[in-house]
Structure 1
Amino acid sequence: MEGDTNGFLPAVGVLVDNPVGKVRRGINLGEPDYNFYRRRQWGLGYELTHRFSSAAKFTQNLRWGEYHEYQQIIYGAALGADNRTVTRNNFPFKDDTLQFTVDNRLDLDFATGPIEHHVLVGFDYRNYREASAFSFTPAGTIDLFDPVYSPGAYIAPTTLTGSTDQRLKQKGLYLQDQARIGNLILTLSGRQDWVKTDNYAATAAIPVSKQDKFTWRAGATHLTEAGIAPYVSYATSFQPVVGQTFAGAAFKPSQGKQWEAGVKYDARSLGDNIELFATAAVYRIKQSNVLVTDPDNPFFQLQTGEVVSKGVELELVTRIHKQFSVNASYTYNDAKNEMGARVAAQPQHKASLFADYTHRSGLGAGAGVRYLSKSNGVVALPGEYTTTGGVTLLTTLPSPSTTLFDATLHYDIPGWRFAINGSNIFDKRYAGRCSGETSCFFGQSRQIIGTATKSF
């Protein structure tokens, strides 16, 4: 796979108006004939299943994969005081990843008196190796409004500085019992992980690190004849994180705790002509060592302390007489770090509604709306300000709220659907995200896609 990687633009012109003029969404501050990424990847694996009886089954999943990437990026690094001259850097980057995974599990079904059990026990293993290297060199300046490119004027560095060079070996032993007593379903599971990370990079402060962690989950669901199923669950998590900061510090494992309670409804009592599934849930998640974009080095990441997310999720999917369908959802997510600042790229409110009608002739159409509330681009203490090119910005670089409209037109014949799908059909111009003062991106412009789908 090959392509262009450019897209970094100043916040003054994307997030806020530029006093000089309007920045074009299609502007390219790199070198169109020089910027590139080349990606080569492949994977090979299998799934083996052996059933000993109707109550016992063994499954093994095995996979080997490789990923190789080289990219060359000239990008805007700083906006001058004239609000149009952009200083650029050259960032070549190389990444090679090898991974072997295998999962062995045994499914067992049995009963102990009135209790029906579905037990899952297994062991998995992962061997992951990643090595990356990069370089930074100056690449001159360019005009934000009238760029003049210089094909062939920039030569990639002959040597790159080694960055991440790690091997992670992870072994996990897990057990889960899903027990049913009448209309009550109880789930209890546990997992023990053993992780060893070898840091071969010269900057590694800790050459070898080892962690072991036990995590567990418990939940209960009550089923009713009316199709209403209230539930509650609690879970802990442990996830090793491969990689390191720009300064060379290896990432620590991420750990979390989650409470969730809600209700599900499948409308089985409303008749055969109405298919409906609705869910409502409240949750609280506390997670440590969360990755965020490094605002000073946008190609790298940092780990924060703790993030707490509290919220509500509502979802409705319905289809009436197999012709009229409605999909609707709403999410309230209050995600803040330990300093009380909102987490980057996490809108507090998200909502969507899409309705579609298909006539018996096969012709159909649909339309919908999506809403995203304001969200921060970077994590920082609220209330702080900075000045770039004479324009004052919040250090959190918040993207404004956005409402977008989508539509579809389709025609069905036996075995086929032909469709034209449009997103952001009114071509609204908006800031997608700013992870730094010169690391801003416009949101997706209007997109029209034609498809032909064959069903078997």
Structure 2
Amino acid sequence: MSCNCGFGVSTVNRQLFYSICLTGIVSALIVQSASAEVVQPKSSVSQNITRRGLRERLVNQAELLSQVPNSPTLVEVTGVEATPTDKGVEVILQSTQGQQLQITNRSADNNFIADIPNAQLRLPSGDGFTFRSQKPVGGITEITVTNFDANTIRVTAIGEAGLPTVELFDSDEGLIFGFTPVVSSAQTPQLPAEEPETETQTQTEQPSTQTDEPIELVVTGEQDGYSVPNATTATRTDTPLRDIPQSIQAVPRQVLDDQQVIRASEALRNVSGVQRGNTVGGTSEVFNINIRGFQQFGGNLRDGFNNRNFFSTVETANLERIEVLKGPASVLYGNLDPGGVINFVTKQPLLEPFYAAGLQVGSFGLVRPTLDLSGPLNPERTVLYRLNAAYERGGNFRNFDTDVERFFISPVIAWNISDRTDLTLELEYVNDRRPFDRGLVAFGTGIANIPFDRVLGEPDDFNERTNLSAGYRLEHRFNDDWKIRNRFRYSFSDQTRNRLEPGRLNETTGELGREFAEGESTIRNYELQIDLEGNFATGSIQHTLLFGVDLSWQNYGGVERFEPAPSINIFNPVYGIAPRPSRDEFSDVFPLGSQTNALGFFLQDQITLADNLKLLVGGRFDNIDQSSPSDERQDQAFSPRVGIVYQPIEPISLYTSFSRSFQPNFGNRADGSLLEPVRGTQYEVGVRGEFLDGSLITNLAAYEITRSNLAVTDPDNPNFSIPSGEQRSRGIELDVTGQILPGWNIIASYAYTDARVTKDDNLQPGNLLDGVPFNSASLWSTYEIQTGNFQGLGFGLGLFYVGERQGDLNNSFQVPSYVRTDASIFYRRNNWRAGININNLFNVDYIDAPGDRRSRVEGPGAPFTVRGTVSVEF
């Protein structure tokens, strides 16, 4: 059977499972409440430190810093001084009101980031807004102190090999940060022979006498804003974006919140070159995401782990951000399409108690409460938890009797076994029931002129899916330079659906042929990852080496049944004219079944030839065994990647790369035989820029990708597949993300994509690929008032443009272009936020996902829609 068919499932007793889940929530609250009553011992990381010089080392990147009562007026910092020490470097924020400064940690990856509210820089250098010290000591690239907004100072220290250790103490002169860099075994800290180069004049006086007032350490894990400086998807290691020789974009959590995103596909419209493809009747959004002109069959990751539950709707309640890597990623993740891969990065447990609740309501009966809880489970804070849950009902504008109903829960436990060993246990459960909806149909060379909410199946068509995944992540650090990671995940997806499938349309009479269809299927996955990461030097050349092994086992089985059904007139539909057949009355029954076993080895080296010249080299060998009831095959492939980054000046990175991909085909010919694997090759060049002290990130890329032997729908047997010859995609992409001014955020994109058939025995060479516009663009920007009586009030505006697209590979009809306008107004105050978002402000008719054939224009876009949200953190 072709992978575009429907599948289905045995239904789980939801009431029993919901009861268990609610019991777990209550238990977590009880445990958290009990642990909160325990008096912390003096050895706890939350103990006070005095200003006599007693220092408390931070734990990892999550721990920091001082917390004192909020000051009603701004504290002025009149000077900043960076002084090398025997451990690293000390940065003094000179202020006569240093005891009033409070600090919130927002560190991420190698970047120490601390925000100091109710404070402003007033430096004597003239502009008074920024202090910067470049390479003040070996192991630290840069230290920046700047006015983040009208009432916040941001302190940033970028480590070369890892997050710097930070010690905090106070003096009469002000607040002092002591930075100790993480240094690999091949390095020794090199103190500069003279004072570090800075962009402002600073004083050289040393701290004077110290007082005894305590500073309370607090722990946070929050990272806000639109810019994401580091990512793991491209290299499977924590790497700054500026050092990656391939296009990668991130959609951070704040964008999801500002746009009130419910489905991940809504967030992906912010990324250049990404479009929705075949949605399997509106029941799956990650089945065929279109990246750089090529639809990705299940090409997505979950925290860097291959997520093989293709037919699912991604929940956003527990997402921290979404990373999109453009181009082949097979060297690290195995069997993937060449267009790219999407990595859904989830929220992780926090050291400090955190509680958040939200409620979304909106058009078409949408109601969606969410819950986010986190904190320690024991007084020593070595065991942490996070629990995200969401319930959703309504929100579907199409004229169905079946409503959307969805329940999601995801608990995570993190155990710091020792200073060098961490274990994380994860569970995720989703039960999702929604209408099965093939959408509209083609008419002539365009779309049939019928209402966008009209159903051409039956109003009670439905799909129900239950997904469960469970696994662990274990990491052990042998020393500061070498560590080993082991991951395992088990997942299953059970599905059932009952629907009427559309067939041929008589454009003279308006009669649309249909057939009854129902089915059940089950997918079971077992996946194991082991990788070893090390940092070392060969002379003056630095290396980050990664070696890994991946194993996966996938079993898929089920059945599909078909029976002729009465037609429907698309201009004057009449529903329910014939009862659905019983299971024994179906005349065509197709058993479904396959098994795929994969083993892969990979090796990657990130080489720093010089401070401004980096080389990335990697390769992977895969062995794939596939079997179906009528066929079996074994395939091997080698997938290389090489890239180079040159930084002529610090904010600019020029890069070029070559990479290849490999993926087994999951389609079957009409005779039952399996198709040969899909192979792809990409060449890419680009330039990445980091401006405004790194708060604004841009990426401009040009590429060419070719892929061969992909599965396309068999025109003579639509439920099966045939191999296509060769397809090519060329394009240019631009992405801009970050903060322009305090309170003014932006995420924007543009893509030109020329994707077409180059060789094929069944299609006309030169045909454009379906669902791929030549031009697409997006712009979303928000501004939040920073001071005055209206502080916290914000506004947002979004424009999303998609050009004309072909509706099928035969180019027999076109889907028109559109511009969708969104707007928002919100208000943040202390620990709560309220907002109203309006999507499709001008109520335009548009097609979001064109499907892949004349009878399945699957994604009519929603009309004017209002969503309101209220959330609170405590």
Normalised to the residue count of structure 2, the TM-score between the two structures is: 0.47
- Whether the 8 Å contact between 1:166 and 1:243 is mirrored in structure 2 is no
Show the 5 A alignment for 1:365-404: 365-380=795-810, 395-404=811-820
1:443 aligns with 2:857: no
Which is worse superposed, 45-54 or 140-149? 140-149
- Whether the 8 Å contact between 2:605 and 2:616 is mirrored in structure 1 is yes
Show the 5 A alignment for 1:6-155: 6-12=437-443, 15-16=446-447, 22-33=449-460, 35-80=461-506, 82-150=508-576, 153-155=579-581
User: Of the candidates 423, 427, 430, which is equivalent to residue 839 of structure 2?
Assistant: 423
Deviations 1:364-402 (A, max 9, x none): 11112111111111112xxxxxxxxxxxxxx53211221
- Whether the 8 Å contact between 2:441 and 2:447 is mirrored in structure 1 is no
Distance 1:76 1:208, change over 3 A: closer
Q: 1:68 is aligned with what amino acid?
A: D
> In structure 1, what is the equivalent of residue 673 of structure 2?
249
Matched residue SS, 1:130: strand
> In structure 2, what is the equivalent of residue 263 of structure 1?
687
Deviations 1:149-180 (A, max 9, x none): 22881124326623442111110011101010
- Whether the 8 Å contact between 2:744 and 2:782 is mirrored in structure 1 is yes
Instruction: Please report how far the alpha carbon of residue 13 of structure 1 lies from its aligned counterpart in structure 2 after TM superposition.
Output: 9.1
Structure 1 distance, partners of 2:745, 2:827, is 15
Instruction: Please report how far the alpha carbon of residue 25 of structure 1 lies from its aligned counterpart in structure 2 after TM superposition.
Output: 1.4
Matched residue SS, 1:59: strand
Structure 1 distance, partners of 2:724, 2:582, is 33
> In structure 1, what is the equivalent of residue 601 of structure 2?
173
Structure 1 distance, partners of 2:839, 2:669, is 36
Matched residue SS, 1:214: strand
Structure 2 distance, partners of 1:104, 1:180, is 25
Structure 1 distance, partners of 2:621, 2:829, is 52
Distance 1:320 1:440, change over 3 A: closer
Instruction: Please report how far the alpha carbon of residue 143 of structure 1 lies from its aligned counterpart in structure 2 after TM superposition.
Output: 3.0
- Whether the 8 Å contact between 2:515 and 2:563 is mirrored in structure 1 is yes
> In structure 2, what is the equivalent of residue 330 of structure 1?
750
Instruction: Please report how far the alpha carbon of residue 224 of structure 1 lies from its aligned counterpart in structure 2 after TM superposition.
Output: 4.2
Instruction: Please report how far the alpha carbon of residue 301 of structure 1 lies from its aligned counterpart in structure 2 after TM superposition.
Output: 4.7
Instruction: Please report how far the alpha carbon of residue 14 of structure 1 lies from its aligned counterpart in structure 2 after TM superposition.
Output: 10
Instruction: Please report how far the alpha carbon of residue 450 of structure 1 lies from its aligned counterpart in structure 2 after TM superposition.
Output: 2.3
Q: 1:362 is aligned with what amino acid?
A: G
Matched residue SS, 1:232: strand
| Structure 1 spans left out of the alignment, 5+ residues | 381-394
Structure 2 distance, partners of 1:178, 1:39, is 41
From the two aligned structures, give the one with the greater strand fraction: 1
- Whether the 8 Å contact between 1:85 and 1:142 is mirrored in structure 2 is yes
Matched residue SS, 2:573: coil
> In structure 1, what is the equivalent of residue 614 of structure 2?
185
1:4 aligns with 2:435: yes
Deviations 1:46-105 (A, max 9, x none): 001111111110101100111111111113323335433333211112221111000000
Which is worse superposed, 43-52 or 234-243? 234-243
Matched residue SS, 2:814: coil
Distance 1:448 1:291, change over 3 A: farther
Distance 1:455 1:177, change over 3 A: farther
Structure 2 distance, partners of 1:423, 1:303, is 39
User: Of the candidates 631, 637, 641, which is equivalent to residue 213 of structure 1?
Assistant: 637
Structure 2 distance, partners of 1:27, 1:245, is 34
Which is worse superposed, 8-17 or 333-342? 8-17
Deviations 1:242-286 (A, max 9, x none): 34245533232111111111111101xx45xx8211111110111
Matched residue SS, 1:141: strand
Instruction: Please report how far the alpha carbon of residue 290 of structure 1 lies from its aligned counterpart in structure 2 after TM superposition.
Output: 2.6
Structure 2 distance, partners of 1:406, 1:323, is 19
Deviations 1:329-388 (A, max 9, x none): 1111111112111111111111112222111211111112111111111112xxxxxxxx
1:237 aligns with 2:237: no
Which is worse superposed, 395-404 or 7-16? 7-16
Structure 2 distance, partners of 1:249, 1:415, is 59
- Whether the 8 Å contact between 1:238 and 1:254 is mirrored in structure 2 is yes
Which is worse superposed, 132-141 or 157-166? 157-166
Distance 1:285 1:414, change over 3 A: same
Structure 1 distance, partners of 2:488, 2:577, is 46
> In structure 1, what is the equivalent of residue 739 of structure 2?
319
Q: 2:855 is aligned with what amino acid?
A: T
Aligned residues: 428
Q: 2:703 is aligned with what amino acid?
A: Y
User: Of the candidates 701, 704, 708, which is equivalent to residue 284 of structure 1?
Assistant: 704
Structure 2 distance, partners of 1:37, 1:156, is 17
Which is worse superposed, 161-170 or 42-51? 161-170
> CA RMSD, aligned part only?
2.3
> In structure 1, what is the equivalent of residue 243 of structure 2?
none
Structure 1 distance, partners of 2:659, 2:720, is 30
- Whether the 8 Å contact between 2:433 and 2:462 is mirrored in structure 1 is yes
Percent identity, aligned pairs only? 29
Distance 1:144 1:208, change over 3 A: closer
> In structure 2, what is the equivalent of residue 389 of structure 1?
none
Structure 1 distance, partners of 2:814, 2:673, is 28
Instruction: Please report how far the alpha carbon of residue 295 of structure 1 lies from its aligned counterpart in structure 2 after TM superposition.
Output: 5.5
Instruction: Please report how far the alpha carbon of residue 320 of structure 1 lies from its aligned counterpart in structure 2 after TM superposition.
Output: 2.8
User: Of the candidates 196, 215, 232, which is equivalent to residue 625 of structure 2?
Assistant: 196
Structure 1 distance, partners of 2:608, 2:838, is 45
Q: 1:286 is aligned with what amino acid?
A: T
Which is worse superposed, 281-290 or 104-113? 281-290
> In structure 2, what is the equivalent of residue 386 of structure 1?
none
Matched residue SS, 2:583: coil
Instruction: Please report how far the alpha carbon of residue 454 of structure 1 lies from its aligned counterpart in structure 2 after TM superposition.
Output: 5.1
Distance 1:294 1:326, change over 3 A: farther
Deviations 1:224-255 (A, max 9, x none): 44310101110111112334245533232111
Instruction: Please report how far the alpha carbon of residue 133 of structure 1 lies from its aligned counterpart in structure 2 after TM superposition.
Output: 2.1
Distance 1:45 1:52, change over 3 A: same
Structure 2 distance, partners of 1:248, 1:185, is 48
| Structure 2 spans left out of the alignment, 5+ residues | 1-431, 759-764
Which is worse superposed, 404-413 or 286-295? 286-295
- Whether the 8 Å contact between 1:15 and 1:440 is mirrored in structure 2 is no
Which is worse superposed, 429-438 or 358-367? 429-438
From the two aligned structures, give the one with the greater helix fraction: 2
Deviations 1:286-345 (A, max 9, x none): 111234455666665543211111110111123133211232211111111121111111
Normalised to the residue count of structure 1, the TM-score between the two structures is: 0.87
- Whether the 8 Å contact between 1:164 and 1:243 is mirrored in structure 2 is no
Matched residue SS, 2:443: helix
Q: 2:589 is aligned with what amino acid?
A: T
Q: 2:828 is aligned with what amino acid?
A: D
